[in-house]
Amino acid sequence: MIKLTLKDGSVKEIEKGQSVYDVAKKISDGLARMATCASVDGEVVDLRYILEKNCKLEIHTFESDLEGKKAFWHTTSHVMAQAIKRLFPDVKLAIGPAINDGFYYDFDVQKPFSDEDKAKIEEEMKKIIKEDLPIEKFKLSREDAIKLMEGKGEKYKVELINDLPKDSVISFYKQGEFTDLCAGPHLLSTGKIKAIKILSSSSAYWRGDEKRESLQRIYGISFPKASMLDEHIKMLEEAAKRDHRKLGKELELFMLAPEGPGFPFFLPKGMILRNVLIDYWRRLHQRDEYEEIMTPIMLNEELWHRSGHWEHYKENMYTSKIDNIDFALKPMNCPGGMLVYKNRLHSYKELPIRTGELGLVHRHEMSGALNGLFRVRCFTQDDAHIFMMPNQVTSEIIGVMNLIDEVYKQFGFEYHVELSTRPENSMGTDEQWEMATNGLIEALKQKNMEYEINEGDGAFYGPKIDFHIKDCLGRSWQCGTIQLDFQLPERFDLTYIGEDGEKHRPVMLHRVIFGSIERFIGILTEHFAGAFPVWLSPVQVKILPISDAQLEYTNKIAEELKKYNIRVEIDNRSEKIGYKIREAQLQKIPYMLVLGEKEVKNNTVSVRNRKDGDLGVISIEEFISKIKKEVENYAI
């Protein structure tokens, strides 16, 4: 007998040699029906996995977590590849992973798939699902695996196998006539999938290398219930209406130009939004005793060797030569922050030192990955670096957590937290990484904050806590992060004079809240569908005179509003008032003041709200008091 420790802490004894699926069925028939994969001692495995020893077992379903969804979506990517091979036998297969919101598969094709082709592919996928093909896993030696894929003419699979160690045992999955190189996990049969949809296609380079073959990537989604697909399609339709690229153009916030791919241009209204957001950031940081600094966007190569970025991040950096010396545009603000700290001696009495920087950073992104403000080549990080003594670590992390919580609640965002641990290409000793990771865990425990562990996804210099906000459509965005770093203080020989008069090494926190000002503006635009809260709106009030007879009064009202820093525009076009109101609504203006003869005579304003419509007639003083209160309270 072996003992299984389940997720809820209970222990189940079973006979050795049973599969995960057998265990799920013993727990309940419902769980067995819904199960997609499992984790055994933290390793994600198939339901067909045989249990041979005592272990921790967690069974995943589509609805329980992302691992459960990914097994489902990964299986569907194989169904799509099988359908395409049936319809287009000459197509070559590349890779087909699950991603956080579905799956994709890359294909080498003579010509891109047309809409008609995609409809045929979707129909063939439905046939494969209806056939309910059992999915079998088998393993081959590296040599036999190469022979199998060469026999099928799959050159990309052969290349992937050749990159594996010579003594590797390589896994494959087979469903009907289709076999694919894959580590898994996968469902037990194709019939478990109930609803599928091909969503879009794009070009992609093999292995992300623009010098390699250009492939066609097809994205899709699938669900265990047709109703779930219907809900997802509705969400996508709503997301399309909220697309920040579309709204950014309509609301004149920002523009993208072919002369600067990945380098956004902010227009006047976008700059107002951006600056209001930055003013809010500055107010909070001044309150919490951060000192703002600014460091150069270009520094010499030696600095980037010292920081470790040249070794670990060079492929993402833009470089240039000045006086025959290599320089790089900064991809991160931290090395400059190290030089600022090192500029003078520090005493333990000064610590913690909190420095904030709205630093413009540049990172090379593949052209195919660029996406409005979400994925750009230059962006402004709302960075901060906190230098402290070891006994201040927990309290400083908690302080940052509280600040992040305050900001996200201000915008109405829910969020969840992930702890990302040591990656493969890391710097530093095991002892330093253990100390840093434990420091983050201790702060999470003291805050009673639930968190998931994201193995191997830490920064190369330290573990991190990532904050994932959820927007009004339920989509998740990783924004805030807290990184505990023992490496850079060591590499830059940072010190402070301790109470004993000796030099000591400070510990450092890296942290961002928005993450990227540009990306956060994109998220806010979609979250609010362009209808920003009053305090954020580039134009807060639109004054709509009914005729030219009210222009003098209109200008008087506008000047009165401006005295209180209320952002106002006048629509004095010779158009009907209904047309002007509709135009202001389309521009998402929070308040419209309609001025006619009665308003002029009584020294009042007729107020309309973009959401609630007509609010009635009030004095200008009453309206100013109302809008000022909303702005001062950062009302959502």
Separation between Cα atoms, residue 422 and residue 462, nearest integer Å: 7
Q: Is 378 a catalytic residue?
A: no
Is residue 8's pLDDT more than 90? no
The CATH number of residue 595's host domain is 3.40.50.800
Separation between Cα atoms, residue 369 and residue 367, nearest integer Å: 5
pLDDT in tens, 320-340: 999 999 999 999 999 999 999
Q: What percent of the chain has pLDDT over 90?
A: 77
Q: Are residues 181 and 151 in the same domain?
A: yes
Question: Which pLDDT band holds residue 85 (cuts at 50, 70, 90)?
Answer: very high
Q: Are residues 144 and 91 in the same domain?
A: yes
Question: Which pLDDT band holds residue 511 (cuts at 50, 70, 90)?
Answer: very high
Q: Is residue 535 situated within a structural domain?
A: no
Check 182, 334, 378, 479 and give the catalytic one.
Answer: 334
> Domain tally for the chain?
4
Q: Is 363 a catalytic residue?
A: yes
Q: Is residue 536 situated within a structural domain?
A: no
Q: Are residues 472 and 397 in the same domain?
A: yes
Is residue 582's pLDDT more than 80? yes
Range of the domain at 191: 67-241
Q: Is 587 a catalytic residue?
A: no
**DSSP letter at 45?**
E
Q: Is 383 a catalytic residue?
A: yes
Q: Is residue 166 situated within a structural domain?
A: yes
Check 60, 217, 274, 385 and give the catalytic one.
Answer: 385
The CATH number of residue 44's host domain is 3.10.20.30
Is residue 621's pLDDT more than 90? yes
Q: Is residue 378 situated within a structural domain?
A: yes
User: How confident is the model over 231-240, as a mean pLDDT?
Assistant: 91
- Segment among 325-339, 428-442, 585-599 with least mean pLDDT: 428-442
Is residue 463's pLDDT more than 90? no
Is residue 364's pLDDT more than 80? yes
The CATH number of residue 143's host domain is 3.30.980.10
Q: Is residue 440 situated within a structural domain?
A: yes
Q: Are residues 321 and 448 in the same domain?
A: yes
Q: Are residues 331 and 226 in the same domain?
A: no
Question: Do 37 and 44 touch, CB atoms closer than 8 A?
Answer: yes
Is residue 563's pLDDT more than 90? yes
Separation between Cα atoms, residue 554 and residue 557, nearest integer Å: 5
Q: Is 346 a catalytic residue?
A: no
**DSSP letter at 516?**
-
pLDDT in tens, 394-434: 999 999 999 999 999 999 999 999 998 888 777 778 888 88
398, two tokens: 């908690």
Question: Which pLDDT band holds residue 100 (cuts at 50, 70, 90)?
Answer: confident
Q: Are residues 234 and 98 in the same domain?
A: yes
153, two tokens: 């003419």
Is residue 368's pLDDT more than 80? no
Q: Are residues 78 and 57 in the same domain?
A: no
* pLDDT of amino acid 370: 85
**DSSP letter at 244?**
H
Q: Are residues 36 and 129 in the same domain?
A: no
User: Element (H or E) spanning 320, and its range?
Assistant: strand 319-322
pLDDT in tens, 165-203: 888 889 999 999 999 999 989 999 999 999 999 999 988
Check 186, 244, 330, 464 and give the catalytic one.
Answer: 464
Torsion angle of the four alpha carbons 84, 88, 92, 96, in this order, in degrees rounded to the nearest 10: -10
Q: Are residues 16 and 117 in the same domain?
A: no
Q: Is residue 534 situated within a structural domain?
A: no
> Amino acid identity of 532?
F
Q: Are residues 327 and 354 in the same domain?
A: yes
Q: Where are the beta strands (DSSP E) in 46-134?
A: 55-61, 92-93, 98-99, 102-108
Q: Are residues 130 and 176 in the same domain?
A: yes
- State which of 241, 264, 287 marks the end of a domain: 241
Q: Is 309 a catalytic residue?
A: no
DSSP 567-614: -EEE---SS-HHHHHHHHHHTT-SEEEEE-HHHHHHTEEEEEETTTEE
* pLDDT of amino acid 355: 97
Angle at 305 between CA 301 and CA 308, to 5 degrees: 135
Q: Is 510 a catalytic residue?
A: yes
User: How confident is the model over 604-626, as a mean pLDDT?
Assistant: 94
* pLDDT of amino acid 592: 97
- State which of 527, 551, 575 marks the end of a domain: 527
Q: Are residues 162 and 271 in the same domain?
A: no
